[in-house]
Amino acid sequence: MSEPFFDYIRANTNTASNKLYGLEEEEKLYARVEYLKLPDFSFPDVQLRSAMLARASTRSFVDQSISLNKLSQLLGSSIAVSNDSKGMRKYTFPSGGGLYPIETYLLVSHVESLTPGLYHYSSVSHSIGLIRNIDDELRQAMRVLLRPMQTDTLPSLYILMSVEKSRCIQKYGSLIYPLTFMEAGHRGQNIFLVAAAMGVGCCPIGAPLYEEMNKALILDGVSAHYVYGLAVGLAKRNRNNTDSHD
């Protein structure tokens, strides 16, 4: 007996139709959008052990903005290009085949100096571009993302990840499904640990909100689709300075 999902993955990993896809290597950039370079940052000067022991899911946030410097440090230390020398880009997380098929979006509610809305993050240039001003659909998406956390206080922002299939399907076929989910997990843990090191609250959101998030991110859901999200903000502490676990 084998599990049908894995049978499907194995049977469709190397098909002729996969080879019809072009291999797109670069990260996505929105041509008509002006990207804003995030402030210079340094990695949090905290021992790995302390960050790992401090990591815990936060589901209650205070209605207070995080600074642009903090956002820059969080993204820069977790998912930005960490070395761009000798013609080879390096990141602090691994990627199947070194193809980096995941894109990052920021659904911003309240971050100092940023207009609320949807931003695309360039991990190559460590910059953000506003691709969609806040509107009713984005406000609704923020509320939908609160449901799996069972809270009603909006975090400062959500970090949302999507997969660009054309960057990896030619090589891996249906294997991209587990591979991209694994990579999203690696990226998520980086973000989570850096947030913990900075004393910033974070909660992963694994609920299958694919349709809602594809709509918010303006993705067709086929060639590119939402995969994983994290809520980020300043934590509301209870008396024991801990957050409850689901």
Position 99 contacts ligand FMN (CB under 6 A): no
| Closest C-alpha to 80, from 71, 92, 69 | 92
Do residues 44 and 195 lie in contact, with contact meaning Cβ atoms separated by under 8 Å? no
Position 203 contacts ligand FMN (CB under 6 A): yes
- Nearest distance from residue 187's CB to ligand FMN, in Å? 12
Position 94 contacts ligand FMN (CB under 6 A): no
Of the ranges 37-45, 55-63, 115-123, 125-133, which one interacts with ligand FMN (CB under 6 A)? Answer: 55-63
CA distance 29 to 4: 37
Of the ranges 34-42, 156-164, 166-174, 201-209, which one interacts with ligand FMN (CB under 6 A)? Answer: 201-209
Question: Which amino acid type is present at position 205?
Answer: I
CA distance 190 to 65: 22
Residue from the set 101, 173, 201, 204 that interacts with ligand FMN by CB under 6 A: 204
By beta-carbon proximity to ligand FMN, the closer residue of 44 and 148 is 148
Q: What is the DSSP string of 52-111?
A: HHH--B---B-S-PBPHHHHHHHHHHHTSEEE--TT--EESS--GGG---EEEEEEESSB
Do residues 149 and 230 lie in contact, with contact meaning Cβ atoms separated by under 8 Å? no
Is 245 strand, coil or helix? coil
Residue from the set 36, 56, 124, 134 that interacts with ligand FMN by CB under 6 A: 56
CA distance 226 to 72: 23
Position 245 contacts ligand FMN (CB under 6 A): yes
Position 80 contacts ligand FMN (CB under 6 A): no
By beta-carbon proximity to ligand FMN, the closer residue of 224 and 227 is 227
Q: Look up residue 124 and give its DSSP letter.
A: T
Position 57 contacts ligand FMN (CB under 6 A): yes
Position 92 contacts ligand FMN (CB under 6 A): no
- Nearest distance from residue 178's CB to ligand FMN, in Å? 14
Contacts of 4 (CB under 8 A, 6+ apart): none
Residue from the set 46, 81, 131, 207 that interacts with ligand FMN by CB under 6 A: 207
- Nearest distance from residue 155's CB to ligand FMN, in Å? 12
Of the ranges 14-22, 30-38, 200-208, 213-221, which one interacts with ligand FMN (CB under 6 A)? Answer: 200-208
Size of the site for ligand FMN (CB under 6 A): 12
Which residues, numbered 139-178, are part of the site for ligand FMN (CB under 6 A)?
Answer: 148-149
Q: What is the DSSP string of 204-228?
A: EE-S--HHHHHHHHT--SSSEEEEE
| Site for ligand FMN, rule CB under 6 A | 56-57, 59, 148-149, 203-207, 245-246
